[in-house]
């Protein structure tokens, strides 16, 4: 951690079935994304566990009521994130699964990005590298002004560290102490920038986030046993600063490292449509 002051996370109890379920959904996401997308499997692998943890263990969402005012907000940037997320949203009932097979591009949306108009379940998605965090800051600010208790999660990748508008948004969030904002940086070990721009290394960027007033956490982005308690703890805690989780991932991470038996049977298990981990 690179925290300016002690952060006390809520120790939320975990149901014993959640961890294996999330791992299976992550592998399902990876398999479906590689089937539907023209990209290689390695490009789609890195965010699967992060997305599955959010959607099956952390976010308060209702597929029957996508515009529920007290739902947690989720924003992201990145085309490969969209490809990995679309199967999970279909699995949760936000859109018919048949849409994935009939027209993957319709589900993935404009330039591979699902958005609030094309696909419920996502509050904002964009291929522009520097837009997601500014939008997330706006969502978190709106919650404060309206007196609502929802949290805003923003999934970024390390390529966005190159963008000035993202850092401007980070500075604004820290200055206004947006404790309801959680950013997750998917830092892949195979990033094309790693080793070329030393000022954008995870260690340097962690110091920059902390300097801008954020609480900084590090986690293995493929380890669900670490991701789930950390993200849920950040969601449940009442904090006075925004939080950023730097998740180290590997684009070559393969579902073959986790044999899961009949994956598609597990992925087709019925859902009640509500993932509600925080008291209303």
Residue 61's SS3 state is strand
Work out the pLDDT band at 54, boundaries 50, 70, 90.
Answer: very high
Examine the pLDDT at 239 and tell me if it is beyond 60: yes
- Strands 243-249 and 215-220, by their bridges, are parallel
pLDDT digit string, tens, across residues 2-44: 555 455 565 666 777 899 999 999 999 888 877 766 554 445 5
Residue pointed to by tokens 């994935």: 100
Confidence of residue 72 (pLDDT cuts 50, 70, 90): very high
Q: DSSP string of 66-94?
A: TT-TTSPEEEEE-HHHHHHHHHHHHHTTS
Q: How far apart are CA 205 and CA 86, in angstroms?
A: 30
Does the pTM surpass 0.85? The reply is no
Who has greater pLDDT, 12 or 244?
A: 244
Give all domains of the chain, ordered by start, each with its CATH number: 18-270 (3.40.50.970)
Provide mean pLDDT across the span 172-197: 78
When pLDDT is cut at 50, 70 and 90, the band that residue 96 belongs to is confident
The answer to whether residues 159 and 191 touch, using CB atoms and an 8 Å cutoff, is yes
At residue 251 the predicted structure's pLDDT band, cuts being 50, 70 and 90, is low
């Amino acid at each position: 951690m690179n925290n300016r002051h002690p952060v006390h996370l809520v120790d939320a109890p975990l149901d014993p079935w959640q961890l294996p379920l999330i791992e299976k959904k992550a592998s399902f996401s990876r398999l479906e994304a590689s089937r539907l997308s023209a990209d290689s499997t390695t490009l789609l692998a890195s965010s699967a566990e992060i997305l599955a943890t959010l959607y099956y263990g952390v976010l308060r969402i209702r597929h029957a009521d996508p515009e529920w005012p007290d739902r947690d907000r989720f924003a992201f940037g990145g085309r490969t994130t969209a490809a990995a997320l679309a199967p999970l949203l279909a699995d949760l009932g936000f859109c018919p699964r048949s849409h994935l097979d009939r027209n993957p591009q319709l589900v993935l949306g404009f330039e591979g990005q699902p958005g609030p108009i094309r696909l419920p379940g996502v509050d904002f998605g964009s291929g522009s590298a520097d837009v997601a965090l500014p939008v997330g800051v706006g969502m978190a600010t709106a919650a404060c002004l309206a007196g609502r208790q929802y949290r805003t999660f923003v999934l970024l990748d390390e390529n966005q560290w190159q963008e000035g508008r993202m850092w401007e948004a980070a500075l604004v969030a820290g200055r206004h102490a947006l404790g309801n904002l959680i950013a997750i940086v998917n830092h892949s070990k195979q990033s094309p920038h790693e080793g070329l721009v030393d000022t954008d290394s995870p260690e340097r960027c962690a110091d920059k986030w902390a300097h801008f007033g954020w609480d900084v956490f590090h986690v293995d982005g493929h380890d669900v046993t670490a991701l789930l308690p950390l993200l849920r703890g950040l969601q449940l805690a009442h904090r006075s600063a925004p939080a950023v989780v730097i998740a180290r991932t590997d684009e070559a991470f393969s579902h073959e490292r986790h044999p899961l038996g009949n994956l598609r049977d597990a992925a087709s298990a019925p859902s009640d449509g509500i993932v509600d981990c925080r008291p209303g």
